[in-house]
Structure 1
């Protein structure tokens, strides 16, 4: 039984083959790992098909197998990741440092250089899943921090209004905001926003 944080059995994998023709080998290894290969996308025959395939198949992870990541491929990947972020394992026969940076910026979670040894596929999928979850966690923390900072600025601005209009000191103005929030079952930020909006309306008259 797979008890790892990112179990592979049942994992929905979309393989995008950009000319390496390793899909039979990858398919066999995915079967051994008990993953589900939802489709094999031929990016040589259909170079612009990545976004549509991702939308139709909704894989849990994307595996790209290429000679090297071209700007066109990375542009498709970046656009797909903007619309629906997901773990991406990018395998390439060769990559320059610049291509590696570009691939990571486009949304690749893990990179494998110089081919894909089948016995390493499971570990690489685990790495991509773990790196994606780590990056998503960092982004959630960043958004939370930005939200808290914005709310703090609103509260400070509302407190300034109360100090100006009601002659309160800083502590008394803050306590007044807390009382209003508790009485209305609202957050400090929502009460502050209403107070700021009301102040702006009054000043426009």
Structure 2
């Protein structure tokens, strides 16, 4: 993994209001251990942010390569904030938690989490965890791109077929002649064949 990988950690404040609150102390220690582990593994920790209404704006400004959510069961809203903050520009998300209730894993993965780690903060585990998360995210992005391309290609083919059908019907052309007419127009205007077909359909709709 690239050492310059820009990472943002979304986590609660490390400040402890009640030093006798054992749960808060343990959570703060775990969160601190995560950040130290990232630095020890030479990752570029650009910021630690609270999960609040300003998270989307801060992530947009920082443009991290990967987001780590450090959360306990009572802080699940942190994940919701992160998912909302990355819905327009997807990024790999890794969630670290000590909550052993795995009922949340399915929802977390469906929401876009690349890795869901329970009690996995040993420093030697951080790098392989993030490596796998990045690889999985890149694979999923490639699959999404392939699916989007396939949908676009199918839509374009249907548009071209509709335009050919109209030309055949209204100008008495053969299918090959209709295709060649669309193709020539696209080449003359420097446009994609599907774009020419769609423009022709739009004009036909206007003319009735």
Q: Fold match, TM over 0.5?
A: yes
- Distance 1:28-1:70 versus aligned 2 partners, 3 A rule: closer
Of residues 86-95 and 16-25 in structure 1, the stretch that sits farther from structure 2 once superposed is 16-25
Question: In structure 2, what is the Cα distance between the partners aligned to 1:139 and 1:60?
Answer: 18
How big is the shift at 1:125? 1.1
Question: In structure 2, what is the Cα distance between the partners aligned to 1:135 and 1:183?
Answer: 38
Give the counterpart of 2:46 among 20, 38, 41. 38
The ranges of structure 1 where at least 4 consecutive aligned residues each deviate by more than 4 angstroms after the TM superposition are: none
Are 2:160 and 1:166 aligned?
no
**Corresponding residue for 1:90?**
95
Structure-to-structure mapping, 1:22-171, within 5 angstroms: 22-42=30-50, 48=53, 50-68=55-73, 70-171=75-176
Q: Structure 1: give runs of 5+ residues left out of the alignment.
A: 1-5
How big is the shift at 1:154? 0.8
How big is the shift at 1:48? 4.8
Question: In structure 2, what is the Cα distance between the partners aligned to 1:95 and 1:143?
Answer: 36
Q: Structure 2: give runs of 5+ residues left out of the alignment.
A: 13-23
**Corresponding residue for 2:184?**
179
Deviations 1:146-189 (A, max 9, x none): 11111111101100111101112222222222222223222111
Aligned residue pairs total 194
Question: In structure 1, what is the Cα distance between the partners aligned to 2:114 and 2:108?
Answer: 9
Alignment TM-score, normalising by the size of structure 1: 0.83
